[in-house]
Structures are given as C-alpha cells and as structure tokens.
Structure 1
C-alpha cells in the first residue's frame, strides 16, 4: 500500500512544463466536415468530439509518440501515429464509409493496435451490447461470445470457460490488474459486476508471455468505463427488471473532468429471487443480493498521467446443492416454494476490494507504464447459522512495469517485469486450503515489426513462482496439511504473423506456449469436497502444466459481407485432474490429483451479412466446437457442447422520437454432448429462441435508452452440460422477460 501512495504522490508532484495540444479537422471522402467524431488518445485518457465544422482540440498533451483514434458510426475507425514535439500539432484526416462493425482498439495485447492491425485475434465486446441480450449477470453475457462458455451453479455463480479450459487456467484482468478471488473453488464465481465496465476483450489461447502463470487457457480483460471529456460532467441512472427471478438491477453513475483532473463514481445494487424452470417451479436458494461501488480519480500533465480506481463488491448468495432432492428438481427437502430474496442456508458471503493505480511517464521518444494492484478477498461460507464454518482472507499485491523503447523505424519493443505477493489466511472451523504465501516474479520482452500489410510479433519470458504453506491438523485425519515449500519455473515464447492475402482477406498465424503452476487445492487438499461428495487428496509433487497452442485465423471483409474462421490445436503436458483411487473414507469415494498429457482442438466460424439495398438488415451466424481429451482418448471434463448461434437484426428510426432502434431474433442451437468424462453424463441437444427490441426514446426534453428482451421465449426445458446442477436433474432457467431503461442525467 505504501508503494501505491508513494508512486501516486511522485506522479502528482510533476508540474506541466508545456501546454502542448493537438488540433485538426475530420472530413468524409468528399471533404465534407464530419461532426460528432470521437477523437481519443486512450494512453492518457483524453477524448473529445468534433464540432459541426469537423474541428477538434486536445489540450495538455505530453511530448512523445502517441496513437490517436478517430471513430464514428457508419465510418471506418482510423488509428494514426502522431509525434508531439512542438506546442501545437495539426492532424487532418478523412474517414471512409463502412456499414459493417467498427474496428476496435485492443488494450489486452502488448502494442494496443486496432483489431485489423493486431497479430493476434482478440474478441472485443462492449458491455452495452451484452446487456442488450438480456443477461442477468456479467458471466452470463460473456457466455454469448463465440468460444466462451460458463460453468454455472444457478444464476449467482458462474465461472468462465475459454475453449474448454476454466478455473485457474483462465486469467481475469480488471482495472488493469489481475483478479485474485480464490478462483480455484468450483463454487467461487467471477465476483464482478457489469456496471462501470466499458468492454471486455477475450484472448482465446495461451497468454503467459504477457500475463504469466494461469493464462494458459486465455484471458478475460475488462476495460473500465471512461472518464468524462475535459470540461464536461455527466450522470446516468439505469434500471433493469427480470421476470424470471423477480430481479432488479439498479445503477447510478456520476463523472466530471477538468483539464488535468478527472473523477467518477458509480453505485449498483442487484437482487434476485430463486430462478424459475419451465414448468413454473423455482430452484430453492439460487437467490442472491449484490452491492457494487466503483470510483476513479485521474490526473494528467504534459509529462505524466495517473489513474487510481477502487471497486468494492459485496455478494450474499445461496448455495443450492445442499439438501437438494433431485426428484423435486432442486427444491430443498420440505421447503416451500418462495419468491423471497433473503438468502437461505447454506450461503456464501463474499467481500471483494480492488485498488488499482495506473501510471505513465513520458520521455519524448519512449514511455514507462507502471500498474500496481491490491486485491483483498474475504470469503465466508455458512451452513446453518451466522457462524462461518469456512472463512478465508486472500490479500494480493501485484505489479506490472513495462518500458516502451524508442521506436526504431517500424520496430517496436517492450520489456517488462511482473510480480505478485499473495497471502491466504484461514479463520473458520474448516479449511479448504492451508495458510499459504505465494510469490511470483516474471521478466519478459516482446517486439513488433510492421511493413505494408504484414506484421510479425515475437516474445520471450521467464517466470518463477514460490509457494510455502503452514502445517495444520493431526497426521492421518481429515484437514491435515503438511507444511510445503515448492518452486516452479517456466520459460515461454510466442511468435505471430499477420498478413493480407488480398485487400479484403486477412490471415493470422500464432504459435505460443503457456504454463500454469498447480494451485493450493491441487497440491494440498485433504478432505471432503461438499459440493460433489468427494474426498479429495492433493499431490505435493505435481508439476507445471505446460502447453503449446497453434492458432489460425482467416477473415474476409467487404462492404456487405464478413466471414471468419478460427482453428486451434492445444497440447498440454501434465494436465492436472482428479481420479478415483478405489478407496472410501466416511462413505465418500476418495479421489487423487494426478497428471497426464492432454489435447484440445476445434474452433469457431461465422458470417455477418448486410445485404444491399436492405441497409437496415443484418444477419449474424456462428458455429463453435471444441474437443478435449487425454492422450489415452478419454474425454476431459467440462467441455462445452457444439453450438450454432444465428441472429437476425433490424435497425430503424421512427422520425425523431425513436432513434438508433433495433429488433433482433436470436436462435441458439446446442448440440448433444456425447464426449464426456468419467464423472459426467451425456447431455441432450436443445434450441432456444430469444427476442430483443430497443433504441433511444426522445419525448420532449426527456431522453432514455430502452431495451426489452424475451429470453427462452418458448419456455424450453433444458439442461446445460456445464451446469453443476445437472447431476441432480435440475433444468436451467425458463422464460425470462427483461426490461432495461437508462436515463442520462
């Protein structure tokens, strides 16, 4: 914590040495001025819009090299490199029309390119577009992205799955720092609220080069909402209502910005009753309540910029599997059907604090980025009273320092160090894992070379993880943990190439390695896992999981048609899984953590058709598949079924009172899952139909955004293969009508 305050104070002590600015004009292909073009320098959190004559001004710009972005709906996004070496720099630009999707700036990769220039295929989704699909939670919205699924326990607990890998194999970043919240547990959800989140980027493949251990399967990178433009202030209030869970999600945000200082704050409250299945019954204790607070302070001068953000998330959620009767589809024995929101026992209480500080120092031809993060996760489980039987506190301090070397022609290079110090402490009667200390340290370098339509990117990294645990309990009894000291090392590399075969055809080929050190549960477990009634025994001799993945991406884009195809092959050495050893303890089968080589392969393919002259109509269709198996041919667990998703979207304006209107019909077809592990069963196919309608409503001086959804509109009874309630025969959610309103203050 002292380090955070020291760097913040150091940054604010810098005094602006010059008032540099960027001015310019944006026009269309016929040299007519374009108004309302968003002009931004994301590196220093500067943004403005062009006026009616197409002119813009960005003040208080440091000296150095920057990427300036120009975007307007209906036109191609452009990114220009600009060198600010004098007090006034002029940038004039023309934008070409485009009626397909807007090219986005990718933050999660090293060089912050727009997607069309990026050597790695990254899925980018605005949270607003996910909310338009009527998702009740953030992870539910993420599961609509091709290649992304969720392991769910009702509506309140969801864990992301990327191409068949989940848990500690998927790394989550928020506010620029890695999220640590005891994610090894099957009943431990994401713990993030979508309010105050601008967008999400999904890296589908090993990203250990940039992020170290636990990025073996991929990365979810959440970008927080932007500050207001300089000299502006704004506020908004949103309300969403959910018919199925009788749920309510409210959010209020305020923000203002001056030339140097920026402020924002947002509060949200989310409350849901038990979810309802297709026949009208409710699944007892799937209810939850969530409080979320986000705040941010930003400062920038001509030599320095800094952003301090804080997020507090409080969850009170039911655990439905205790006392479940499968014959009653998940209703607690003897419990009456209830629409109440007061969480029953057993339940979880989770408090999560995230404090992040992002600093950038500018040195004319180079720059230094320093990200510091402190995460405090307080997790308790209550069986039948307010006395916690399980109480864990996880404190994590992490740092990420990158130096961007002076550019040599078309060669860009970054070197950096990353690390983490983590302490886990137990205070309850039961222990899932022992008290432990984890230290990570990594050093890396990556370089990017671009010429014409070609890009080559390569990198190398070394990581070290040290884990030490305390002795606890009595030898031979449940809950005994022997003191452990382990040291894990790994070298990883990546190589990527992007080129345009023709004006409209792009190819990306990437080969990368990744690793994951075994987590504390895998190393030390000694007890009954209540959710699955297994007695699990850890293995202190486990080795790193180490993988190599090859990705091939092909894209075709024209004015009215887009096509993409992604294929991957992922080989994992020493994949960690549990296996029965044939013995029984206290009526529970005993499982050991063991290792074997494994492979996953598959991909995603899709189209976007925008027929002319029906400029209001869009057709999106995608198919995704993944196969996961050990080298002996046995299937891996938690592999999502093949999925085909098709959406028809119409866009319209009704005079001036309903603008940016849209209506969609979505058909989601999930195939049989016949490839399942020894602990799973076959899952039947199903098809869901979802509808949505929305837009901006203008009534006099009142303006608000409307979103109306009908999910599973035909009230289909189905079970997802990745639902943890599947083993008890409990179906997923039935029909859900969602009404969302957003008012600008």
Structure 2
C-alpha cells in the first residue's frame, strides 16, 4: 500500500511540475487566401478550439509530447499535422486549407494510432448518428444497416443485432464509452441495449480485430463514439424530438454540456415509445411495441500532464415479444410475453502524458439485468444478472524515427447469475487476459502496421438442475488460449489512388450458451443442446481495398476472403423434446468471401450535387459445401443527394432520394428457405436555420415509400411469414443553443 501511495505522489508531483505549452496560428484558404473559421482539434487530448473570423486560433495547456493536430472545415480537405511540444514553448502552425467537395474527414478512434481515415492502414467505415437519423432509422441498430457490408438480424423494430460481412452475435464485438459492451449478446433476440442519444458517430472495423480487442472480435467491431465535450469556454444545450408515423412512435432527448479550461461536464436524457409496427399489408405486428429510457453523463478533467474522463450510461428497454398476428392495436402498453432489460455502463479513462510517451488506463464496470415475463407481468420467468469488469492499459512508447509503437494488456472479469425459474445458461465466471504489441511505420507514400497478441480465457460454470432431469447441465471448467497477428500496408501508388492490404488472424472462444445449453430457448423456439468439447474458432482474413478520389469522383473497391477454422453453428436434428425441435451445436471449417464496391460523384463546381452508389456481396460456405445460415443477400444502394451552401438565416439545406435493391437470397443453409428480393424507396429533406444564437434543424423523411410488402432474409419473423415494416413518414426537430 505504501508503494502505491508513493507512486501516486510521484505522479502528482510530476503533473504539477510539468511544463505548459501552447499552439497558435492562422488558417486561410489556399485558393482565395481568405481566413477560415476552422476547427483545430487534438484527438489524444480531446482538446480543441474554433478559429475566429480572422482565422486566428490558440490552444493552451498542452502537455509535452508529440500529437496529431487535425484542422478541418466544411468544404475543405481535412489536414493532420504531427507537432512536438516541449519546455513551455508556443508552437506556431499557419495553414492553408484546400477546397474540396469531399466530406470533412474525422479522426478514427477505433484504431490505436488515431489518424484520419486517409492516413489509416485499416479501412474503417464511419458514419455520424445525425446521418443515420436523417435516413429515417428508428433505432441505432436499424441505422447501421445503411453502411455497406453491415446488416442486422431483426426481431421487429425493437431488436437488431449487427452483422458484419456475414458474421454476427459473439463474433462481432461492440464498444461503447471505450469499453466492450457485454449484455448476453449470444441470443438472437438480444439487441444492442444502447440508445443513439449521446452517441456521436459509429465506426465499423470489417474483419478480424482480435489484435486490438481479443476474443469476440473475430468478425469485426462496432465502435460507438460518445459525444464530445464542449470546446473550452463554451456552454451548449439542445433538445430534439422525432415522430414516426408507422409506429406512432416518438423519440425525445435533451442534452447540456459546459467546459472550462480544465473541467468539462455533459449530461443527456432520452425517452422513446413505439406501438406495434404496420407491415406493407396494413396489419400491425401484435406486441412488436417497445419503449426505452436512457441517461448519459460525463465529466472530464484535463490538466497539464494528466487527463481523466468518467462516463456513465443507464438504459432501460421494455420490448414486446411477438408470437402471432393477433388483436390489432395502437396501444403502447406491453403485453405478455415481454423483455425488461437494464444496462449500466460506468467507465473511466485516464491518460498520463510524459515527455515523449503516454500511458492510457481504461476501466469499465457493466451490469446487465435481463428479465423475461411470460405468464405474469410481475414475476420474471427468466432473469439473468451479468456483472463485468473490463480493463485496458496501453503504453505509447517514445517515437523512434518514423516508428510509433504501443504495448498493452487487456482483460475482463465476468460473473453470470440466474435468479429466475428458467435457466438458459448456468451460473458462471469468465476471466480474460491478453497482451499485445503493435507498431506503425510511416513513409511519404507508404504506411505499414503490424502487431502480435496472446490471449487466454477461462470459464468456470456451476451445475444446474438435478442429475436426474433431462435438462441437467453439468459443471464446466475450460480454458482457451490463442495467438493472433496482423500485418497491413497503405500505399499511395499514384496521385489520388491508394491501396490498402491487410492480413489478419482472429479468434473466438466458444460462449457459455454454445458450451452448456440444455433446454428450450423460448426466444428462438428451439431446444438447444450445448457441446462442452467445442474449441476456439480461429480465422485468417485477407483484405484488399482500392480507393481513388479527385475533386469530381470517389471510387472504392473492397474485397475479402475469410477462412474460419472450427466455425460453430446450430444444426437441426430429428429429435423432438417438449414439442420443440432439438438443435445441436457443431463445428466445421468455413469460408466467407465477397466485398463492397461503389462510387461517389460530386462534379466540380457543382459541389452541391452528389450521386452515391454501392454494391455489397457476401457468400459463406461450410467445408461440406453447405451454405452458412443468416447470410445477408446481395444488395445495391443508389442515393441522389443535394446540399446547398450556407445562407444568411438558412445555414444549410439538403435533400435525398435512395433506391435500395436487395436481390433474391438463394444461397441458404439446409434448414433455411429462400427469400425473394425487393426494392425500397426512401427520401428526405432537412434544413437548419439560425435565429440569433439559436440553431433550429427541421427534417422530414420517409422510408419504404411504396409500402412494399417484403420479408428480409435476416428477419427472425420470416419463419412465421410476418412482413417487415411498411411505409413510414418521419419528422425530426432539433433546437441547439
């Protein structure tokens, strides 16, 4: 204990004795030399400012070290500069930004070196939640369905599970507030459990990310970036509300944030309520209604050599479980059966800045309380309590020439407890430990990145039930170990044309349900039998990404081949127990391949005109030539969009129309049926106005405007031939002060 206190004292003395640096300069247009009121931001410090009307800016209290500084403004190409700060110096960086029709680039947070996408070795998809909301998405899960290569397994409108290039469930890891989200994601009918309010953007890593995140990142990562704190000296408040005609739903959230020189604070609350959704055939899907409460808060202290951020999120979701088309109702009161889920996320991130290096220490506590009510509204037939503690330590070594290196250790302690009559998975404890090292090497036209990692996972479960019963679950004591590696390169072969090549391995330890299940899973109408002899899933993916962009057009082509050894899947048997078909967990080698291709036309000088098109395809097969279940169908998305420049009172306006063509899905597993293709039309308009210091945003959009009757191949209602949502007209209002 004495040693610990001495260490804290040394760190405190170091922080108070460290020097203070400043960054100042002027930003102008390269084309006209006019000043630009651009944003200047240091991602690692989460510190920034906006240049004044003369283009001048200043940022104070910068610790010693080397930092990427990003300069960005709408209508100009973003620029990242690596700047060094030492010995109380004032660094002057004058910059000229080049006009560009390309959307403003943001820093990618989900990869370790926090670079702009154009400088990143890995291709990462990034989209803001404002864009998802403008598209008419009811929930965050539904919104990510618009990203090329990303789909969702849906249970009506209330539940959506992300699918990345054909892989889902425990093969896709979700991060929120910088920590891994754990909420019993093994279940098909278990959604994200997080509200889009207070989420600024979504980043998607498509492919093995075990090097960075360990087990369960075999298929990719969904990284949810929380909203930033206000810039120094600013106080902001906003109120937004949306109405969805199809579900008679409303969603409202209120936020406030304020920042001083060192201390920052924010808070946001949200409430949403929806009735049963109406299909294209005009019937409502009984008990597909749901409601959600969400609260987020954060506080940050940023000193000379120390930064600490504490965030908290509480989410309560009440979700109806449809069983059949019954009484038609517009009520929002839940009927039996329904789920009631509480999610708590408490995270803290500390960064210590040394002369030429830094130490990041993250920790998170998550509590998931999942209750399912079947016969009585006050007595949970199923109740699972999941307590998870995550930690993540990364040391950014002093930069050696063009080498940036990070070493780290990550881990998790998890406890699962049953408190209901039904038992899906037994009481169990899970422990993860992983160590990693990764380096980035930068040359003028080539960036290289490589890394290695070693992980171990230990699962101990208790016996459940009586040894005399058919659904008895034996105790389990298993350990899983894996070594993973990744190597990637980004090359600017010729001007405006870049190539990314990434080779990566990943792994996933079998989850508790796959190892121990023995009983009826009511949510999926299956009797599931686990397999305690399952081993690690291990995969290797090769990814090639080509990108060309100039002032008129952007083109991209991403192809991948993903070989998965010991792929775990559910297979039906001829056995019937309790009038329910029995499914066994089995393993076989599998392969997935496909990609995303598209272009974005924005002819100069018609910068307000945009034509976007993308095509995505994925095929998954087992070694016995059978197709993998729940593989998304091929699709094409075409969007025509216009954006108008700032006016006096009208700050900005935009309009879009999108046609999405989903093809027939004929590549189905032996216990699936084929799904017919369909075409959906959506459109919308949005404008923002300034009244003194108040910003008003008004949006109107519509989804499935032709009221198409269709069933998605990834809908869990497909077996019952229940259609997806029909036409919906949606209104969005937002006020910012």
- Normalising to structure 1: TM-score of the pair? 0.96
> Does 1:501 pair with 2:502?
no
Paired residue for 2:405, among 393, 403, 413? 413
Indicate the residue corresponding to 1:48 in structure 2: 49
Q: CA separation of 1:533/1:310 partners in 2, compared to 1, >3 Å: closer, same or farther?
A: same
Partner secondary structure for residue 229 of structure 1 = coil
Paired residue for 2:450, among 448, 454, 458? 458
Displacement of 1:478 after TM fit? 4.2
Checking the alignment, whether the CA contact within 8 Å between 2:666 and 2:675 is kept in structure 1 is yes
Displacement of 1:706 after TM fit? 1.1
In the alignment, the residues of structure 2 paired with residue 442 and residue 6 of structure 1 have an alpha-carbon distance, to the nearest angstrom, of 28
Displacement of 1:44 after TM fit? 1.4
Displacement of 1:46 after TM fit? 0.7
Displacement of 1:586 after TM fit? 2.4
In the alignment, the residues of structure 1 paired with residue 561 and residue 410 of structure 2 have an alpha-carbon distance, to the nearest angstrom, of 28
In the alignment, the residues of structure 2 paired with residue 19 and residue 597 of structure 1 have an alpha-carbon distance, to the nearest angstrom, of 56
> Does 1:250 pair with 2:252?
yes
Indicate the residue corresponding to 1:691 in structure 2: 683
Displacement of 1:269 after TM fit? 0.3
Indicate the residue corresponding to 1:327 in structure 2: none
Indicate the larger mover: 510-519 or 583-592: 583-592
Q: CA separation of 1:394/1:6 partners in 2, compared to 1, >3 Å: closer, same or farther?
A: farther
In the alignment, the residues of structure 2 paired with residue 293 and residue 102 of structure 1 have an alpha-carbon distance, to the nearest angstrom, of 30
Indicate the residue corresponding to 1:126 in structure 2: 128
Unaligned runs of 5+ residues in structure 1 are: 325-330
> Does 1:427 pair with 2:419?
yes
Displacement of 1:52 after TM fit? 1.3
Indicate the residue corresponding to 1:154 in structure 2: 156
Indicate the residue corresponding to 2:333 in structure 1: 342
For residues 263-278 of structure 1, what are the structure 2 equivalents within 5 Å? 263-278=265-280
4+ residue runs over 6 A deviation = 5-13
> Does 1:74 pair with 2:65?
no
Checking the alignment, whether the CA contact within 8 Å between 2:259 and 2:265 is kept in structure 1 is yes
> Does 1:735 pair with 2:706?
no
Partner secondary structure for residue 43 of structure 1 = coil
Q: CA separation of 1:6/1:156 partners in 2, compared to 1, >3 Å: closer, same or farther?
A: farther
In the alignment, the residues of structure 2 paired with residue 716 and residue 565 of structure 1 have an alpha-carbon distance, to the nearest angstrom, of 30
Checking the alignment, whether the CA contact within 8 Å between 1:124 and 1:200 is kept in structure 2 is yes
In the alignment, the residues of structure 2 paired with residue 9 and residue 377 of structure 1 have an alpha-carbon distance, to the nearest angstrom, of 36
In the alignment, the residues of structure 1 paired with residue 536 and residue 372 of structure 2 have an alpha-carbon distance, to the nearest angstrom, of 30
Displacement of 1:36 after TM fit? 2.1
Indicate the residue corresponding to 1:320 in structure 2: 322
For residues 142-221 of structure 1, what are the structure 2 equivalents within 5 Å? 142-221=144-223
For residues 336-485 of structure 1, what are the structure 2 equivalents within 5 Å? 336-385=327-376, 386-485=378-477
In the alignment, the residues of structure 1 paired with residue 697 and residue 9 of structure 2 have an alpha-carbon distance, to the nearest angstrom, of 40
Displacement of 1:632 after TM fit? 1.2
In the alignment, the residues of structure 1 paired with residue 247 and residue 7 of structure 2 have an alpha-carbon distance, to the nearest angstrom, of 45
In the alignment, the residues of structure 2 paired with residue 611 and residue 242 of structure 1 have an alpha-carbon distance, to the nearest angstrom, of 35
Checking the alignment, whether the CA contact within 8 Å between 1:11 and 1:305 is kept in structure 2 is no
Paired residue for 1:657, among 641, 649, 652? 649
Indicate the residue corresponding to 2:603 in structure 1: 611
Checking the alignment, whether the CA contact within 8 Å between 2:508 and 2:538 is kept in structure 1 is yes
In the alignment, the residues of structure 2 paired with residue 453 and residue 388 of structure 1 have an alpha-carbon distance, to the nearest angstrom, of 60
Indicate the residue corresponding to 2:709 in structure 1: 717
Q: CA separation of 1:71/1:287 partners in 2, compared to 1, >3 Å: closer, same or farther?
A: same
> Does 1:515 pair with 2:504?
no
Checking the alignment, whether the CA contact within 8 Å between 2:20 and 2:87 is kept in structure 1 is no
For residues 668-683 of structure 1, what are the structure 2 equivalents within 5 Å? 668-683=660-675
Displacement of 1:584 after TM fit? 2.1
| CA shift digits 1:341-363 (9 cap, x unpaired) | 11111000000000011111011
Displacement of 1:654 after TM fit? 8.3
In the alignment, the residues of structure 1 paired with residue 288 and residue 420 of structure 2 have an alpha-carbon distance, to the nearest angstrom, of 24
| CA shift digits 1:448-484 (9 cap, x unpaired) | 1111110111110000000000012112524411110
Indicate the residue corresponding to 2:23 in structure 1: 22
In the alignment, the residues of structure 1 paired with residue 342 and residue 99 of structure 2 have an alpha-carbon distance, to the nearest angstrom, of 47
Partner secondary structure for residue 731 of structure 2 = strand
In the alignment, the residues of structure 2 paired with residue 581 and residue 438 of structure 1 have an alpha-carbon distance, to the nearest angstrom, of 30
Indicate the residue corresponding to 1:228 in structure 2: 230
| CA shift digits 1:102-160 (9 cap, x unpaired) | 22211111111111111111001111111110100001000000000000000001000
Checking the alignment, whether the CA contact within 8 Å between 2:101 and 2:604 is kept in structure 1 is no
Partner secondary structure for residue 228 of structure 1 = coil
In the alignment, the residues of structure 2 paired with residue 306 and residue 599 of structure 1 have an alpha-carbon distance, to the nearest angstrom, of 43
Checking the alignment, whether the CA contact within 8 Å between 2:20 and 2:64 is kept in structure 1 is no
Q: CA separation of 1:655/1:216 partners in 2, compared to 1, >3 Å: closer, same or farther?
A: closer
RMSD: 1.8
Checking the alignment, whether the CA contact within 8 Å between 2:19 and 2:86 is kept in structure 1 is no
| CA shift digits 1:355-399 (9 cap, x unpaired) | 011111011111101111110000000002110010010000010
Checking the alignment, whether the CA contact within 8 Å between 1:35 and 1:49 is kept in structure 2 is no
Checking the alignment, whether the CA contact within 8 Å between 1:33 and 1:52 is kept in structure 2 is no
Unaligned runs of 5+ residues in structure 2 are: none
| CA shift digits 1:289-314 (9 cap, x unpaired) | 10000000000111100100000000
Q: CA separation of 1:94/1:612 partners in 2, compared to 1, >3 Å: closer, same or farther?
A: closer
- Normalising to structure 2: TM-score of the pair? 0.97
Q: CA separation of 1:8/1:318 partners in 2, compared to 1, >3 Å: closer, same or farther?
A: farther
Checking the alignment, whether the CA contact within 8 Å between 1:431 and 1:479 is kept in structure 2 is no
In the alignment, the residues of structure 2 paired with residue 717 and residue 588 of structure 1 have an alpha-carbon distance, to the nearest angstrom, of 30
Displacement of 1:695 after TM fit? 1.6
| CA shift digits 1:693-735 (9 cap, x unpaired) | 0020245775301111011111111110000001101000000
In the alignment, the residues of structure 2 paired with residue 513 and residue 117 of structure 1 have an alpha-carbon distance, to the nearest angstrom, of 22
Indicate the residue corresponding to 2:547 in structure 1: 555
Partner secondary structure for residue 618 of structure 1 = strand
Paired residue for 2:518, among 519, 526, 532? 526
